Structure 1
Amino acid sequence: MKHFAKHKPKFASMALLAAGCFMPVHASADDKDSLETKNALPEVKVTTGRVRPGTLEDVARTGSKTDTPLRDIPASVAVVPATLLREQGVINMNDAMRNVSSVQPLMGGGYGFANNFTSRGLPLSFFRDDMPDGTSPQNGYYRTMYDVERIEVLKGPGSALFGVAGPGGSINMITRQPRSAFAASAGTMLGSFGTRIGYLDATGPIGQSFAGRFITDLEHADGFRGLKRDIFEISPSLMWRLADDKTLLIDFDHREIKIKPDNYGTLFNFNSQLVVPRENRYYSPFNNTSNTINRVTAVHNWAISADLNMRTAFTYDGRSLDLVRNGGGNQANAAGIITGRDARHQTDHQAFATFQNEFIWKTNTGPVKHTFLGGFEYKNTDITTVRADYTLPNAVSLFNPNNLETSLDGITRRPIFDRRISSDQTSFYAQDQLDLSEQFKLRLGIRNDLVQWSDKGFQSGVGFREIVRSRSLTTYSTGGVYQPTKFLAFYAGYSTGAFVNLSTEPTAVAAAPETSNQIEVGAKTTLLDGKADFNVALFQTSRNNYFITLNPGLNNNQTQDGNDRSRGVEVNLAYRPIAGLSILGNGVWMDPETISRANAINNVLGINRSIFGNRPVGVATNMGNLWTTYQIQTGLAQGLTFGFGVTYKGDSFADTLNLLRVPSYVVYDAAISYRIKKLEVAVNVKNLTDKTYYTNPTFAGALPGDSRSAFGSIRFYFN
């Protein structure tokens, strides 16, 4: 398959247009903002502006792929609308995911230039408008919020619906669609760390049968601790009304993302403590990543009848990644010297093609109502990857890291691999949602994936080698809902997951599928005459045969020895006691545990022992987030909004031996904004107390969170 990610399109004129508007972070305004109109062209999602996102009546397709309200789904589904992202001044996925209980950033596979998360202690997969967004969390990309309408997160294995889905759940980025009435938004954000951001979002009719949307953004930041990023994105889309019952959506995304990665952060000393200033830098100054993505999607929706709909979708996603980053590295030894430092140069050319055809049929058998989903999917993955490592000769002091390498010139190159990874997957899936009565609902889902995968090429120490395998994977989900009233739903569900990890991070692809399962019971309710929404879920999840790093000081090579289990309880609250006041909160308490009996090594301390019973890397046992806003409703200050947030995350570990503890933290944020007619201005302040904290562990350290920072934005709306 031809990798059109290698052929960089020319977007100079569009870049000039975006630069001329040098603009804001998020285009959405209120739940019923200026870009939303009642006469929108037909879309897959059928929610209305009268339904608050995430409430019992809301429809989140990620939970069922149908128009089923959240109250009828026997699973946890979180919704983060663009309005909330805008209020909080969210720029990246790490900040956005604070609004979802139990979701935590994970360094491994991201290295500071790509998103990687766990939920309930287990990793999440990404989707964009229901279609797979890459093959695995590792070596992905840095996701921005400019074209996002909302983010939906399904908790637990979703393989019965989505196939290749992480055991912790699925993050579905729902993007903005073309509208049949003209509207536009543009603006800019300026702030700390040399941050300069701009965007433009315009939509409207094109003749009688077409509507288009054009979104573009530019982003530059010098970054805290020099972690620079430059991003240019452009996302045109076209909706064609073929007939009253048929639409065709064509969407194109082009992204150029350049980010300096840091997979050391602040390193631990010999006593396994973080004692040096957060400003210290241990990453090589020449570190860089360049990620170019071209993604084309076509979706045809056909309302065959009032009870039968068909959706046909195709996505081609081509990516080109060139990265230079550190690898290896230990905590400081007794003399305060960091050993085992390494550098890595890797190039990946990836192509993902996915075709889906599915139908939704609503019918009755006697008094029982059915919503039946049936589908077929074919997915092809084709990746070429080349890696070389460099042993860095300098002995770097933990307390005075002033002799870092400035280039790789003169350092011996060690070829690690030159491979081609490919996969063909053919899938059939079905799901039946049964309304047995007004109070009892049942869901049954099953999927079979026939996967053929191969990994061929050169590997250091082995020479040419070839891995070719095939496997039939069957996954399923089942659950029931009991609703004693329309404002209260109790549910229970069980789901399984299985997929083949095709990540380029390990030196070989998975020899066997990674598997997972989840048992969950919970309740969803609306209280106090609709002023409060409260959800609670108890869960047990497990994950088997995943890649894990057992010797982080030895090039961070991974083996498929991972095996975890997690139990806990999640809560989510949305409360609107009076007009203009909103309180959102979430929390999790859980007990994640490693049940693998593999041995791990700490080279500096000379410890070699089993990891059984330890906590998985990077997972806190408890965390929570609270965000509240108040908007003045009358008088001269009408439209003035104040926001305040607090985030808590418990401690976690950077290593499988649980020797390197990353401390817990509490961080406070604040916001103030004012909107009048077609203009909105806002100021967001993050880390109000200038707390030294660490967002997530690396391999022998932890990545410091940003110091106190402020960002001002201005947005213009036209319609």
Structure 2
Amino acid sequence: MYGIQRHNVAADYYYSNSNVGRHVKIEKLVREPGVGTRVNNRVDIYQRGRAYCHAGFFCIAMVAFLPASVQAQTTDRPTSLPPVQIDAPKNRPAQKRAPATATAAAKRRTARSNQPPKPAAQTAAVVDTGNGPNNNNSGPPLQQAPSLGKTGTKLEDLPVSVQIIPREVLTEQGTTTLRDAVTNASGINTGGQDSLGYFDHFLIRGLNAQVYTDGFSDGDQLGGLTHTLNGVRRIEILEGPGSALFGSGPPGGTINIVHYDPSPVFHWGSSLQAGSFGTVINSNYVTGPTTIDGLNYRIDTTFSRADGFRDLASRDYEVRPEFTWHVQDHTLTFALDARHIEQTPDSYGLIYLNGSPITGVSTSAKYSTPFSFADQDYIRPTLTDKWDVTDFLTINNRFSYTHRDIDVMRNNDSMSSTGTHIVGDTLVGRQLRSQDDSDGSLDYQFEPVWKFGTGSVQHTLLTGFEYQHQVLDTQRRTADLPNIANIFAPTPPELSPASLNFQCDAKHSCDNDHLVADYYGFYATDQMDLTDKWKLRVGLRQDFYHEVLDPLITVPGRFTNTGVPLIAGVPESRNDSPVSWNVGTLYKIYPGISPYVGVSKSYLSNFNSENTFNGIGAPESALQYEAGVKFSMFHDKVVLDTSAFNISRDNVATLFSNSLGQESVAFDSQLINGVEASLDAAITEQWHLLANATAMEAVVTNAPQALTTVGNHPQGVPAYMANLWSTYKFSIGGVPGFQVGAGVNYRDKTYSDTTNVNSVPAFVIGNAMIGWDNANWGVALNVKNITNERYFVAANGAGGFVGEGLGAFVTVRYHE
């Protein structure tokens, strides 16, 4: 208990310093007549932070007193296993033979209940932050079965490109966010539309991607959140369209974050990371059995603060309790994910001058409003029931509800001759947007999974129905800002929002909308073993979209793309019924060599918080052709995945600056051709290597509203990417557990929009680590951007978002 008490003190330190000077309490924002007056009653950050802290540690304290957990320990130190009492067998009277179905059910219950927990000594040997028995899909890479496949099919049998990033790699790299983790997969980068630095936005194969958590979507695609690795076991990435499984979704692919399951063996752990830019991150977990037979729990917490590179301060408070109950033929799981996130937007970054980010200034130069903020409150309860009906039928019932409140004040993200632009050495036309969004999303999934044979062909058939209901309320207003007199010595003049006039007219972007959507989907995917070597996968999904945009105010100059004005009290609705599908096949021509081909069709609803300013557009569609080869050598110690792809994309919502300098939405078509490869090699018992590379060409093929952009490159898509990470384990003086690691990340130049006028340059950054682990303790030093390279994470509309400079971070872990 000493370790937990010590980290409680550390957590109190975080909260005692959680009042960030950048936040200003806004009592009132002035609008134009007819817009109304808004009063922000913002809860004091200090009190809210302590509330999250107390709630999280109250949960931990409660489960710590559970008798079943106490029984797993002695008064001196934890034992290897709790005491076991075995009764001698007794003679029983003869009974009638039970029906076959009842016997099978009893066998399944017995097998599940009699599954022995791993010894504590074996538990302690797990290094990935001490998360205990690894019952969450481990083993050689190609033998793992990603949960996003939904059929339990191993990677070696899937005729698609799926990559899994394990927690062990993320721990080695000192990674604490999804944004830093995705470099371990090929074809994926941060950036694209609305990548403003205060939430995650990713491109896979040059196309938008959707983030899921344990199989449930984050909700609004463009108004997302930043993801930490609180309680995360692994990250799964499906490349290419996934609508046949997930319904409305972007064609780039799907990122699925998978959490640890509760364990039947009591153990706990804590970690503390501290380093550059005032960074302090505390993560804790506790898991074990309860006094109820078959009911296990796990609680994960993360509390972090950072002053931030370029003074982009942040705070993050998260708690996630989860309970799993094995009762008869059912496995019931309940989880609650609660977060409070505070971040600092930096829309302008380093502004563009002559087509690239301004030079001659330091990386700390600021053009964004100093009191910008982006606060989010997020809560998601999920309830799932896995029912093993028979040996050939499993029924999954899954329910999720997500609610997010988003309060943002940020600068506009565009540069144009009539909007924000440079005159001489002066930056003029700056604006500040105030935004309040409320997003509520319900998701219900009913999925029977059948296992059967037709002749010699074995089937795993997923059938399903999904219903999603989303309610999104958005309020935006814009204020003009004073000019920055000297762009080479920038000092934003505005000191507080009290003196600003937030307006709503043709020159000041705004809205007050009520958006409601209902999505119904019926789907089936059949994974077939035609022979031991030949695999076939076929999927089909029929979706029904019903979307309603209800403007609550009339915004001057706001029209649909067909020229119809959007008027308050006159809702606009749209209905669509797209059919998505995929077909793929894989053949193992030799042991360790498996070529595959596939084609998939997907649809994405253009209904979100950003793309409805000009009304509801038709769904985006995409068609992908993919061919690849999966190589496995030396008993899966060396795995190489290669693929080539061709993706055509139509009706793509693209932001551009209109003649008034406002951000508007146009629709175009795009084509992407590319190749990629990823390598996972255990060269020796001590030396491990991860590498990936991607080459692609993405172009705009049709743009009726912006004809001059045809032939140009889409926003944020690099032509080349490559990443390398290697570690080596060794002993010193007979003491094992030492490890060193190093890696590099390369990304080619990217453009800020489809005009290709502005871009950010290519970069190469290096990272290194040294660490030591034993059965319970771990300590590591991670150095990032070791050459202090000046680079840009994303090409935003108004400037380049600057990547962090040289930084060093020390992490100390303990678990038992």
TM-score, scaled to structure 2:
0.81
More helix by share: 2
1:155, 1:92 → 2: CA distance? 20
**1:578 alignment partner AA:** T
Report the Cα offset of residue 71 of structure 1. 1.4
Write out aligned runs for 1:514-553 (5 A). Answer: 514-551=620-657
**Residue in structure 2 matched with residue 617 of structure 1 by the alignment:** 715
CA displacement 1:455-487 (0-9 Å, x = unmatched) = 102241144142111111110000111112342
Q: Which of residues 126, 130, 141 is equivalent to 2:211?
A: 126
1:456 maps to 2:456: no
Question: Is contact 2:129-2:171 (8 Å) kept?
Answer: no
Q: CA deviation at 1:351?
A: 0.5
Q: Do residues 369 (structure 1) and 458 (structure 2) align?
A: yes
Match in the other structure for 1:432: 526
Match of 1:14 among 49, 55, 63: 55
Q: Aligned-pair distance for 1:74?
A: 1.1
1:306 to partner: Cα distance = 1.8
RMSD (CA atoms) = 2.3
The reply on whether 1:578 has 2:684 as its aligned counterpart is yes
Q: Secondary structure at the match of 2:156?
A: helix
Cα deviations across residues 68-103 of structure 1 (Å, max 9, x unaligned)? Answer: 011111110011111111110112222111111111
Q: Deviations over 1:551-595 (max 9, x none)?
A: 289555232413211101000001112111101000001111111
- Whether the 8 Å CA contact 2:367–2:492 is kept in 1: the answer is no
Greater shift in the superposed pair: 428-437 or 627-636: 627-636
1:502 Cα deviation (Å)?
Answer: 2.3
**For residues 183 and 340 of structure 1, what CA distance do their matches in structure 2 show?**
57
Structure 2 counterpart of 1:285, one-letter code: P
Per the alignment, residue 71 of structure 2 pairs with none
Distance in 2 separating the partners of 1:515 and 1:329: 27
CA contact (8 A) 1:296 1:315 kept: yes
Deviates more, 1:560-569 or 1:455-464: 455-464
The equivalences for 1:690-709 within 5 A come to 690-709=788-807
Please identify which structure carries the higher strand content.
Answer: 1
Aligned equivalent of 1:24: none
1:59 aligns with 2:59: no
- Any conservation in 1 of the 2:520–2:545 contact (CA below 8 Å)? yes
Q: Is the 8 A contact 1:473 1:499 kept in 2?
A: no
CA contact (8 A) 1:503 1:509 kept: no
* Partner of residue 265, structure 1: 349
Are the equivalent residues in 1 in contact too, given 2:484–2:490 (CA < 8 A)?
no
Q: Which residue of 1 aligns with 2:427?
A: 338
Kindly provide the amino acid, as one letter, of the partner of residue 657 in structure 2.
N
Opposite residue 808 of structure 2, the aligned amino acid is A
Q: Does 1:681 align with 2:779?
A: yes
* Residue-by-residue CA offset, 1:630-681 (whole Å, 9 max, x unaligned): 0115853410000101001011111321121211010000011101221100
1:567 aligns with 2:665: no
Separation (CA, whole Å) in 1 of partners of 2:615 and 2:262: 40
- Counterpart residue number, 1:668: 766
Offset from partner CA, 1:364-389 (integer Å, 9 cap, x none) = 11111111010010100011111111
Q: Choose the corresponding residue for 1:91, options 176, 182, 201.
A: 176
Of residues 622-631 and 207-216 in structure 1, the stretch that sits farther from structure 2 once superposed is 207-216
Does residue 350 of the first structure (1) align with residue 445 of the second (2)? no
Q: Distance in 1 between matches of 2:198 and 2:659?
A: 21
- Structure 1 Cα separation of the partners of residues 713 and 133 of structure 2: 49
2:563: which partner in 1? Answer: none
Q: Are 2:410 and 1:325 aligned?
A: yes
How far the C-alpha of 1:18 sits from its partner, in A, is 10
Letter in 1 for 2:478: D
* Superposed displacement of residue 359, structure 1: 1.2
What secondary structure sits across from 2:245 in the alignment? helix
Amino acid at match of 2:721: M
CA contact (8 A) 2:428 2:482 kept: no
Distance in 2 between residues matched to 1:651 and 1:631, nearest whole Å: 35
| Alignment match, 1:470 | 575
| Cα separation, partners in 2 of 1:508 and 1:205, compared to 1, 3 Å | farther
SS at match of 1:610: helix
Displacement after TM superposition at 1:272 (Å): 4.3
Q: Does 1:35 align with 2:76?
A: no
Hey, what's the Cα distance between the residues in 2 that align with 1:355 and 1:34?
33
Change (3 A) 1:377 1:341: same
CA distance in structure 1 between the aligned counterparts of 2:761 and 2:195, rounded to whole angstroms: 21
Note if contact 2:160-2:596 (Cα within 8 Å) is conserved in structure 1.
yes
In the TM superposition, residue 112 of structure 1 has moved relative to its aligned partner by 1.0
Q: TM-score, normalised by structure 1?
A: 0.92
Which of 441, 444, 448 is residue 359 of structure 1 equivalent to? 448
Out of 227-236 and 572-581, give the one that drifted further: 572-581
Code of the residue aligned with 1:59 in structure 2: it is A
- Per-residue CA deviation, residues 406-464 of structure 1 (Å, 9 max, x unaligned), is 22223222132111100111110001111111221111100011111101022411441
**C-alpha distance in 1, partners of 2:448/2:355?**
59
Is residue 492 from structure 1 mapped to residue 597 from structure 2 by the alignment?
yes
Alignment coverage as a number of residue pairs: 686
- CA offsets 1:321-357 (integer angstroms, 9 cap, x no match): 0000001553753512223211000111110000001
Unaligned runs of 5+ in 2: 1-41, 62-122, 505-509, 557-565
Q: 2:387 pairs with 277, 286, 302, which one?
A: 302
1:28 shift after superposition:
11
Aligned equivalent of 1:153: 237
Structure 1 pair 35–66 and aligned structure 2 pair: CA distance change class (3 A): same
Q: Given that residues 539 and 583 in structure 2 are in contact (C-alpha distance below 8 angstroms), is that contact kept between their aligned partners in structure 1?
A: yes
Distance apart, 1:394 and its partner CA = 2.3
Aligned residue number for residue 467 of structure 2 = 378
Structure 1 residues not aligned, in runs of 5+: 1-5, 21-26, 601-608
CA distance in 2, matches of 1:687, 1:34: 28
The alignment partner of 1:595 has SS state of: strand
Q: Structure 1 segments of 4 or more deviating over 6 A? A: 6-9, 17-20
Partners of 1:18 and 1:640 in 2: how far apart?
Answer: 35
- 1:106 pairs, out of 182, 191, 212, with 191
**1-structure distance, mates of 2:665, 2:625:** 27
Are the equivalent residues in 2 in contact too, given 1:598–1:612 (CA < 8 A)? no
Give 1:14 shift: 3.2
CA distance in 1, matches of 2:461, 2:351: 53
The CA distance in 2 between the partners of 1:625 and 1:554, in whole Å, is 41
Q: 2:749 aligns with which of 651, 671, 682?
A: 651
Quick check: 1:81 aligned with 2:179? no
Counterparts of 1:558 and 1:157, CA distance in 2: 26
Residue 251 of structure 1 and its aligned partner are, at CA, apart by: 0.3
Q: Distance in 2 between matches of 1:313 and 1:385?
A: 28
In structure 2, the CA distance between the partners of 1:508 and 1:523, relative to structure 1 (3 Å rule), is same
- The answer to whether the 8 Å contact 1:266/1:282 transfers is yes
Q: CA 1:310–1:329 in 2, change beyond 3 Å: closer, same or farther?
A: closer
How far apart are the structure 2 equivalents of 1:575 and 1:14? 43
SS in 1 for 2:602: strand
Distance in 2, matches of 1:562 and 1:151, equals 32
What is aligned with 2:322? 237
**Residue 546 of structure 1 aligns to which amino acid in structure 2?**
V
Q: Which amino acid aligns with 1:585?
A: A
Name the counterpart of 2:339. Answer: 255
